[in-house]
Structure 1
Amino acid sequence: MGSKRKAAEHDAQSAKARSVAISIDSSKAKVQPVLATFAAGIPAASAAFATYRDADKSRSDRCIVVSETDKIEYVGQSFEGERPLASGCKYLVGVYDSATDTVTFRAAPVVRVDTVIKSLKGVRGVADRDISEQVLAARNELGEAFGNKKRKAQIRAEERNRINMDAVQGDKSVIQASIELRTSSMPSAQDLRAAENTDRPVPKYDAQATAACDVYDMEDVLPRAVAAHIDVAPFVKAADAEEYKKLVPVRSAFVAKKIEGILAQAKPDVAALRRVLYLAYLMRLAALTRAALQRRDACLEALCCAPEVAEALFERFAECVAGSLNPDGSPVFVKTPATETKLVCYIAVLMLSINNWVVYPAELAADLGIPAKKAEKYLASVGCKIEPAHASEMAMNVMSRRARPGPGKKAILKAPVKFPKAPRRGGVAA
């Protein structure tokens, strides 16, 4: 007990022996203390606050402090309106340096910090917007004072593009009326579906048909005026298959088998034969190159059809190049992605109509030289349902030798028809 009393007396005597100096720091240091009061929860000790001071020298005592966490924003200011919070008094913060026995005091503004819960910012009203605007104004003033040319140009651009909500408030009724006028003229969901169906690259169809044979308008697929120019006499009068094979423009086992079956009848079905030959013309057109389409004589020779039929094919499944003419004065035609998609869709519908509304994608792919998956997409885009097919079924019904053996898929057109979502122009439905 006596030792403690002696130690206390020694410390008191040492304190009397040394003198402590006091100084006032009025320099404009970058880091200055701020006294903060918190209206609600106090942030963690590790929270970092950024301080912004007014660039105007007459208001250099004003400052704003901000910080945030994942859920809360802390925004404080040293003024309220045009008056400082601590009007009539001044606060100093002192720091004692034990090495020099000096206490340095520096003026510290008082800041009242409010908390803003981020999830409730949309329902808190105008106060939060005002605080945010003050913070933004302080940041812009800081950028104007110390920012580089790029930052200053960015601030001026943001100021030009900012909307004055108070000015817009008076025009609220005019803006609302304009929006209502424009939205009233917007197409309805039914109109959009109708436009989507119109843009499909398929023949005319009846979405309400209850039988597969009534889904598509075959007059649109092969018009009577075009069918009348398809000459079937050489096929009907031919003594054997070797005599008419050279008149078929494509090497397709599907086409050859269908022609053989029609001609084997006691009274061949002329309408069905014309449909199969038209399918052969479409397949040949799909195989023609861009250069072949431009040479009209070579194109007619390759199609092996009447000029009237070729004209109908060009008009529907190719686009005329404006201002371009062949040496004989005839127009130049080209195939585009949109016309090629339309052409394959018509081929798919024709194959379905000829084969009792069932087509095997492997056979379509083999005849057109496209991947089987792409053939499936084409058949789905005309309303077919893709189902698995056993290897025995494929071997019995797929006529093309170029198709891969084994199990595969079959496409069946069922009524009422259901189309997949319409693709962008020129594409295949996904």
Structure 2
Amino acid sequence: MSTAKTDSKKRKRESTTSEDVVLKLSAPTPGPVGPLLVSYPALQASPSTAFQCYANKKAKNDGDIDERDLLVVGETDNVEFISNEVESQRAASSGCRYLVAVHNRRTSTLNILPTPKTPYILTRTVKALKSIPVSAPTLQEYKQARTALGETFGTKKAKASIRAQERNRVDVSAMEGVMDHLQEGIDKGAAGLMTAEEAKEEADKNRLIPPFDAAATDPEDVYLLHNIIPEVEWKALSVSQFDQAGSDKERVALLPFKWSNWLNKHVNAEHEEAEPQKRRKKNLKILLYISAMLAFRQATRFTKGSTKDQITEKMNGVPSVVVDGLISRFTETARGSSSYVSTSATQTKLLTYLFALCLKVDNFASDTTVIAHDLSRPVNEINTLFKSLGCKITVLGERERARLGLPDSAAAVKRAVLNAPVQFPKPRMKRK
């Protein structure tokens, strides 16, 4: 049989072009769902496999079944197929949608369903393997397997890292016999350590501020007057000459330190205000002592060391017992030296004692801006020292201004306010 004769006997397929096919939009399928699309895993079911659709109970009760509520299930003799809800929703959200069409060769029509479909991603389960328990490897087994893989197939750098980890690994089982001895050594070493309360008391003692009462409920009792000014020095102060002065200028001339606006203003205000004689005398004594502290600060601040006679000479008019008290509390002496030196710690201590007295005169609300100007120091630095005394830097409200007799213009001025019980600022944590 020739090749030409064989080709002539072959059945020829009827050629159908796209122009011969008629597109037709099919009517919606009756029923709530209609045909569905599924995507098989690597294993594909035979065409005779029957699939069923299941809806959750809530969708059945509502009567409005959506394709997203369906679960597609199929089963053969060896394998079970079930739709994965998470993967199916991921395919739908990615925009994977199809149109289902049926081609009728007899009429050359292509009927397209009007509703787009998203595929259901199927997963398979082998029935013979369902009875085998699945157990995840432990962390130790995982590390051992990973180490074996690294030693077999890893690079030189990876193998060196594995050997370094093996060398640095601590054998816990070898430590079991010595844990008791270690614990005994820790307890013995910690026997001499301070408790939390003792550590707090020690920290409070080392503060560069006057002695304080943390449980006091009245600001007047937080820093007692004679813890700042000893009684011996308090009795040595005399303010009778202020009553004999005829003008503000004469009263300021009686002060050991005459270049403080805050001090001069308060001395003249005490003469004008109508308050009890006892209260007025007390405030004048405090102001006189503040003036002596400022004079002492000026006499010792810029020197590398001064003798007692040199300091007394610069503080003309201040009782000797007051000078001796200031020297003993706010200076230091080197070993084998007779000169007194003012260090940064003693200067800070002097200012905190001075500010505690300022709070008493100001009814525990002091204007830090004026004080900073008098001391020629930045306001932030002075505010920090007031905060170390437990003060809050804030603006006074209307009630507080009325209590202190301040005008409305003082509403814009920040003041250091001391409340009771006193609360000191917490140490700031360093950023990691």
Using structure 2 for the length normalisation, give the TM-score.
Answer: 0.53
Q: Does the C-alpha gap of structure 1 residues 289 and 332 become closer, same or farther in structure 2, counting only changes over 3 Å?
A: closer
- Structure with higher Rg: it is 2
Query: Could you list the per-position Cα deviations for residues 155-202 of structure 1 after superposition, in whole angstroms to 9, with x for gaps in the alignment?
Result: 9xx98x997766544322101222234445543333333333222222
Higher strand proportion: 1
Instruction: Compute the displacement of 1:254 (Å).
Output: 1.9
- In 2, Cα distance between the equivalents of 1:185 and 1:229? 45
Residue of structure 1 in register with 2:391 after alignment:
384
Does residue 227 of the first structure (1) align with residue 227 of the second (2)? no
Q: Report matched runs for 1:263-302 at 5 Å.
A: 263-264=271-272, 267=277, 269-292=280-303, 294-296=305-307, 297-302=309-314
Q: Distance in 1 between matches of 2:174 and 2:149?
A: 21
Alignment of 1:137-286 (within 5 A): 168-183=175-190, 185-248=192-255, 249-264=257-272, 267=277, 269-286=280-297
C-alpha distance in 2, partners of 1:219/1:303?
A: 22
Judging changes above 3 Å, is the alpha-carbon distance between structure 1 residues 221 and 134 closer, same or farther for their aligned structure 2 residues? farther
Number of positions where the alignment pairs a residue of Structure 1 with one of Structure 2: 284
Alpha-carbon shift at residue 262 of structure 1 (Å) = 3.1
2:358–2:366 Cα contact (<8 Å) kept: yes
Aligned-residue offset at 1:331: 3.3
Gap change, CA 1:253 and 1:174, over 3 Å in 2: same
Tell me, in whole angstroms, the C-alpha distance in 2 between the residues paired with 1:282 and 1:205.
20
Q: Distance in 2 between matches of 1:278 and 1:124?
A: 77
User: 2:314 matched to 1:306?
Assistant: no
User: Is the alpha carbon distance of 1:211 and 1:236 closer, same or farther for their aligned partners in structure 2, counting shifts above 3 Å?
Assistant: same
Q: CA separation in 1, counterparts of 2:333 and 2:258? A: 25
Whole-Å separation in 1 of the counterparts to 2:254 and 2:290: 13
Alignment partner, residue 342 of structure 1: 349
Q: Give the superposed CA RMSD.
A: 4.5
1:259 Cα shift?
A: 1.9
Q: Report percent identity of matched pairs.
A: 24
Structure-1 residue corresponding to 2:334? 321
Q: Deviations over 1:353-393 (max 9, x none)?
A: 01111101112211211111222222121111221259xx8
Alignment partners' CA distance in 2, 1:173 and 1:130: 31
Give the whole-Å Cα distance in 2 for the aligned partners of 1:136 and 1:307. Answer: 84
Q: Which runs of 5 or more structure 2 residues have no equivalent in the other structure?
A: 1-136
1:204-256 CA-to-partner distances (Å, cap 9, x unmatched) read 22222222112211110111111222343433333433334333213112211
Structure 2 distance, partners of 1:132, 1:341, is 62
Unaligned runs of at least 5 residues, structure 1: 1-122, 148-154, 399-404, 425-430
The offset of 1:290, in angstroms, is: 4.2
Which residue number corresponds to residue 18 of structure 1? Answer: none
SS of the counterpart of 2:335?
strand
Task: State how far apart, in whole Å, the 1-side matches of 2:151 and 2:312 are.
Answer: 75
**What aligned pairs does 1:62-73 form with structure 2 within 5 A after superposition?**
none
8 Å contact kept, 1:250–1:283: no
Superposition TM-score, scaled by structure 1 size: 0.53
Q: Are the counterparts in 1 of residues 306 and 341 from structure 2 also a CA contact under 8 Å?
A: no
Superposed displacement of residue 274, structure 1: 1.6
Q: 1:257 to 1:170 in 2, by over 3 A?
A: same
Shift of 1:311: 1.6
SS at match of 2:326: helix
Equivalence for 1:410: 415
